């Protein structure tokens, strides 16, 4: 007997096959029972006729608890009216295990309850759709870089030094007399890798010990960071633009069904096309004033400012050349106007906020050393980083993309905690 | 002017192009200078004729320190004798930055010196080859699972409970009054994901606070872990076998040049073909006795035992059904003989040791609960894990593959510290 999956059922039209899954829903009408079976690849309606089973078994079937594990054998039948375009007749059914009463029902549950049952909540149709879109975004990210000759160079999680102050860092007792910090960004290591391999990216979990509890923050999230040697701010903006268009097009092309499950307005994703508007910080603050949005020049953008600026456009918008005081020590100053740093933030539309942050890095040894001193950072810890300016320094830059924010944006969901399988928040590390 | 990379030079035979890189080596013979330029994608010999430059510049060129950054423009010329099959004539050359005297030379350096200069050592030809093979292995892993309809479900790094005792766990102060541990394995979370999505894998960094300093251990390493619902030990072994063959074939097909740089005996990788020998623990211990290798029945295999067993075969060997006492609490017992657990270790040939560990998981609620109690683990922390047996339990299993051990094996290198960009060891977290 051919064992297959729901997703591949349509390839077996007319054949008798076996699928192995769980009972997601059922209803019965006298002599006929409709069983909705999910197997992780999709859901299919299976039709069981009473006459084909002994009465006791059929009764058991029509009262089987949700999430019971079942193996169903019968002919697959293409049917345009069926979800997924295919149905199954049940010739035989094996009950692998009878579930206890399943705690998640179709009624509304509060977020605390659902998060405490995340290990089960992951089975719900919307969560399945989100995780499939996450999987697609991850693959799109890797394909994008591979097609452009980037190589994946993983940055370490344990880092000996705090790159931008220790207040948001998780500390680990590495050995009896040595502390380590969990990485907030692989960028400094990426710079070393870019000098070795030209174009690189890292993609892994990063950690921020933030106290904030907003819908945009997680304490553990995945970040993808490309870095290019022989690149300037324009190259970084060009790459960001191509990158976001590529991801959105892949999701629309490969995950239409999942977007429909999430009732996502697909036209919003289709309108992510280049060129994206490019505003300098000065121009952006000018726009805010024109539109009566209060903002003090010199400040960093808060979430309301990001939302305001992005609300002016349908596509993502790039804001570049921020006051250097609000950007990291390693950012190169604008040679045209040294009040500003050659950084760029890409703001997603629909209020999803900053999705990418990046820029060109300082490549001059003495300037960088002075910057480290001015920021009162331990110079010794950055000797290796300074070496990159001693031995063959070149203009270079890159950016970081937050995976969960991107997934939340693609999915059109409000809170990024649903964009990661097991979210880690201020008061939540279980399950 | 077309800007290209060394790897793509052959596509531009006869055209005048620009490459941007670093001076790896040079020699000059009177009126001609040979510059070996690396750009991260490869290395190419560039030929500069004195008559084409003013004398002062040519002198500067022929004494330019290694690792200086240069942009070279000139015609690409296919040449069978040249490494990579192509050479460049230098029409013009821009010195982007002059390097200080580069600390890594062709002479022998000790491992401490090289590890302290890991940020520069990554540029050396052998390290470039290793990192390109690592990149290929990573992509092969993801392609393998994608082609088989697995979805990537990332497991969390912060975990509230210690899955197999806390002695080898790194501890983090998660909040003022809560500790977290860094994940040693995503398996338990994978099991939840497999019940939701059927076939899943996670692939990320994992952490072991081991005190050991062997050539096979890192404190931070990447692990890939697939998990399948409706699968037994045989399925796990079949998947392991296909997986390792796939990885080896991809590396041989796509990274021949890099394997040559490493002087890898490619025939060793070509002989990784299925079927792999499958020995039960009992059979393996019997073999040891036959061959006079001392081993006490009931013990776990140490490195010398692994090496001995694997030395009997050219391909990887699978050892299954270990005494349950030496395996984790969640492993299912063999219904044929409950002294043994349904686990499998795959031992790589050539002394590379255990490359995969996996098995079938206990799927019965009461048996698992009793096991947790017997191991004196905190039952409360495992309630969510027990839920997976309450709601639709099915036979399931999977394995973990250590990325760095796999890369070291593919590369034929002795120490896994070279198989990761920035190794983290007992006394080493810098750079």
Going residue by residue through chain B, which has 431 residues, state the pLDDT in tens, using 9 for 90 and above: 899 999 999 999 999 999 999 999 999 998 999 999 999 999 999 999 999 999 999 999 999 999 999 999 999 999 988 877 899 999 999 999 999 999 998 788 999 999 999 999 999 999 999 999 999 999 999 999 999 999 999 999 999 866 556 678 999 999 988 899 999 999 999 999 999 999 999 999 999 998 877 888 899 999 999 999 999 999 999 999 999 999 999 999 999 999 999 999 999 999 999 999 999 999 999 999 999 999 999 999 999 999 999 999 999 999 999 999 999 999 999 999 999 999 999 999 999 999 999 999 999 999 999 999 999 998 999 999 999 999 999 999 999 999 999 999 999 999 999 999 999 999 899 99
Nearest residue of chain B to residue A132 (CA atoms): B151
A394 domain-assigned: yes
Element (H, E) at B236: helix B233-254
Contact list, A427 vs chain B (CB under 8 Å):
175
Contact list, B390 vs chain A (CB under 8 Å):
99-100
Same domain, B152 and B32: no
Contact list, B22 vs chain A (CB under 8 Å):
195, 392
DSSP three-state, residue A315: coil
- Judged on CB neighbours under 10 Å (0-12, 13-18, 19+), A51 is exposed
Q: What is the CATH number of the domain that holds A83?
A: 2.40.50.140
Work out the minimum CA distance from A215 to partner chain B, whole angstroms: 19
Contact flag B155-A421 (C-beta cutoff 8 Å): yes
Same domain, A72 and A122: no
Contact flag A219-B158 (C-beta cutoff 8 Å): yes
Name which of A117, A123, A207 is nearest B195 (Cβ-Cβ): A123
In angstroms, rounded to a whole number, what is the distance separating the alpha carbons of residues A180 and A161?
7
B377 domain-assigned: yes
Name which of B20, B421, B431 is nearest A154 (Cβ-Cβ): B421
Contact flag B391-A193 (C-beta cutoff 8 Å): no
Work out the minimum CA distance from B289 to partner chain A, whole angstroms: 40
In angstroms, rounded to a whole number, what is the distance separating the alpha carbons of residues A258 and B412?
44
Name which of A8, A205, A219 is nearest B205 (Cβ-Cβ): A205
DSSP three-state, residue B198: coil
Contact list, B196 vs chain A (CB under 8 Å):
40, 122-123, 127-128, 131
The first and second tokens of residue B264, run together, are 């890898």
Q: What are the backbone angles phi and psi of residue A263, rounded to the nearest 5°? A: 55, 40
Local confidence pLDDT in tens for the 431 residues of chain A: 899 999 999 999 999 999 999 999 999 998 999 999 999 999 999 999 999 999 999 999 999 999 999 999 999 999 988 877 899 999 999 999 999 999 998 788 999 999 999 999 999 999 999 999 999 999 999 999 999 999 999 999 999 866 556 678 999 999 988 899 999 999 999 999 999 999 999 999 999 998 877 888 899 999 999 999 999 999 999 999 999 999 999 999 999 999 999 999 999 999 999 999 999 999 999 999 999 999 999 999 999 999 999 999 999 999 999 999 999 999 999 999 999 999 999 999 999 999 999 999 999 999 999 999 999 998 999 999 999 999 999 999 999 999 999 999 999 999 999 999 999 999 899 99
Contact flag B100-A390 (C-beta cutoff 8 Å): yes
**Of A97, A129, A161, the domain-final residue:** A97
In angstroms, rounded to a whole number, what is the distance separating the alpha carbons of residues A170 and A209?
6
Sheet holding B278-280, edge to edge: B151-152, B199-207, B220-229, B396-402, B353-360, B340-348, B317-323, B278-280
B431 domain-assigned: no
Q: Tell me B98's DSSP state.
A: P
For chain B, what percentages of helix, strand and coil (3-state, to nearest 5) are there? 35, 30, 35
pTM of the model: 0.97
B102 domain-assigned: no
In angstroms, rounded to a whole number, what is the distance separating the alpha carbons of residues A328 and A188?
12
Contact list, A154 vs chain B (CB under 8 Å):
205, 222, 420-421
Contact flag A196-B123 (C-beta cutoff 8 Å): yes
**Of B97, B129, B150, the domain-final residue:** B97
Residue (of A247, A240, A254, A238) closest to A269 by Cα position = A247
B403 domain-assigned: yes
Work out the minimum CA distance from B296 to partner chain A, whole angstroms: 34
Residue (of A77, A73, A36) closest to A53 by Cα position = A73
Residue (of A89, A97, A19) closest to A64 by Cα position = A97
B178 domain-assigned: yes
Residues 6+ apart with CB under 8 A from B109: none
Other CB atoms within 10 Å distance of the CB of residue B405: 22
Q: Is A42 left (phi over 0), alpha (psi -120 to 50) or beta?
A: left
In angstroms, rounded to a whole number, what is the distance separating the alpha carbons of residues A154 and B409?
19
Preceding amide of A431 cis, omega within 30: yes
Give B79's Cβ-side CA count (13 Å radius). 14
DSSP three-state, residue A206: strand
Same domain, A229 and A376: yes
Same domain, B137 and B275: yes
Q: What is the CATH number of the domain that holds B267?
A: 3.30.930.10
Nearest residue of chain A to residue B222 (CA atoms): A154
Contact list, A67 vs chain B (CB under 8 Å):
391-392
B249 domain-assigned: yes
Contact list, B193 vs chain A (CB under 8 Å):
122, 421
Complex ipTM more than 0.95, yes or no: yes
Same domain, B274 and B341: yes
The first and second tokens of residue A44, run together, are 């299919």
Same domain, B79 and B149: no
Contact flag A424-B156 (C-beta cutoff 8 Å): yes
Same domain, A93 and A122: no
**A347 lies in which domain range?**
118-419
DSSP three-state, residue A292: coil
Total number of domains constituting chain B: 2
DSSP three-state, residue A121: helix
Same domain, A127 and A91: no
Same domain, A266 and A227: yes
Other CB atoms within 10 Å distance of the CB of residue A291: 11
| β-bridge mates for residue B201, sequence order | B152, B226
Contact flag A384-B69 (C-beta cutoff 8 Å): no
- Asked if B27 and B85 count as a contact pair (C-beta separation under 8 A), the reply is no
Same domain, B132 and B26: no
Contact flag A123-B41 (C-beta cutoff 8 Å): no
The first and second tokens of residue B210, run together, are 């081991």
The first and second tokens of residue B59, run together, are 């002198």
Contact flag A394-B69 (C-beta cutoff 8 Å): yes
Same domain, A10 and A47: yes
Q: Is the dihedral of CA B250, B252, B257, B258 positive or negative?
A: positive
Other CB atoms within 10 Å distance of the CB of residue A266: 13
Q: pLDDT tens for residues B84-109?
A: 789 999 999 999 999 999 999 878 89
Contact flag A421-B153 (C-beta cutoff 8 Å): yes
- Asked if A270 and A247 count as a contact pair (C-beta separation under 8 A), the reply is no
Contact flag B170-A173 (C-beta cutoff 8 Å): yes
Distances (CA, A) of B211 to A174, A353, B167, B169: 11, 44, 10, 11
SS3 letters across B108-158: CCCHHHHHHCHHHHCCCHHHHHHHHHHHHHHHHHHHHHHHCCCEECCCCCE
Contact flag B22-A195 (C-beta cutoff 8 Å): yes
Same domain, B60 and B177: no
**Of A67, A97, A127, the domain-final residue:** A97
Give A180's Cβ-side CA count (13 Å radius). 28
Q: Which residue has 């793509």 as its token pair?
A: B8
Q: What are the backbone angles phi and psi of residue A185, rounded to the nearest 5°? A: -170, 145
The first and second tokens of residue B213, run together, are 């300093």
A429 domain-assigned: no
């Amino acid at each position: 007997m051919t064992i297959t999956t729901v997703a591949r059922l349509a390839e077996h039209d007319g054949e008798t096959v076996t699928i192995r899954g769980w009972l997601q829903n059922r209803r019965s009408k006298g002599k006929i029972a409709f069983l909705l079976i999910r197997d992780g690849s999709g859901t299919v309606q299976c039709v069981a006729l009473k006459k084909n089973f002994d009465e006791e078994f059929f009764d058991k079937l029509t009262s089987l608890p949700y999430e019971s594990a079942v193996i169903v054998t019968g002919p697959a039948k293409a049917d345009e009216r069926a979800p997924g375009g295919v149905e199954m007749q049940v010739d035989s059914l094996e009950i692998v295990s009878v579930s206890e009463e399943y705690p998640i029902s179709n009624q509304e549950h509060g977020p605390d309850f659902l998060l405490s049952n995340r290990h089960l909540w992951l089975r719900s149709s919307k969560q399945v759709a989100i995780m499939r879109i996450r999987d697609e975004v991850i693959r799109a990210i890797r394909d994008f870089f591979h097609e452009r000759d980037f190589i994946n160079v993983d940055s370490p999680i344990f880092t000996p030094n705090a790159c931008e102050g220790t207040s948001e860092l998780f500390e680990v007792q590495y050995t009896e007399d040595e502390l380590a910090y969990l990485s907030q960004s692989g960028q400094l290591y990426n710079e070393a890798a870019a000098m070795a391999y030209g174009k690189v990216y890292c993609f892994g979990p990063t950690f921020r010990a933030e106290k904030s509890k907003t819908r945009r923050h997680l304490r553990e999230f995945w970040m993808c960071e490309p870095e290019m040697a022989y690149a300037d701010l324009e190259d970084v903006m060009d790459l960001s633009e191509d990158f976001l268009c590529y991801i959105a097009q892949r999701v629309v092309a490969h995950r239409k069904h999942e977007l429909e499950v999430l009732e996502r307005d697909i036209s919003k994703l289709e309108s992510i096309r280049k060129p994206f508007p490019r505003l300098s910080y000065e121009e952006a603050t000018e726009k805010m004033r024109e539109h009566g949005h209060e903002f003090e020049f010199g400040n960093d953008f808060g979430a309301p400012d990001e939302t305001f600026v992005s609300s002016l456009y349908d596509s993502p918008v790039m804001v570049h050349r921020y006051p250097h005081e609000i950007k990291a020590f390693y950012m190169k100053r604008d040679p045209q106007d040294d009040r500003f740093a050659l950084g760029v933030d890409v703001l997603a539309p629909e209020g999803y906020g900053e999705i990418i942050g990046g820029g060109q890095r300082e490549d001059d040894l003495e300037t960088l050393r002075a910057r480290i001193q001015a920021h009162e950072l331990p110079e010794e810890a950055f000797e290796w980083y300074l070496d990159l300016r001693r031995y063959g320094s070149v203009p270079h830059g890159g950016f970081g993309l937050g995976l969960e924010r991107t997934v939340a944006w693609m999915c059109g969901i409000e809170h990024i905690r649903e964009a990661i399988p097991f979210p880690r928040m201020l008061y939540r590390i279980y399950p």
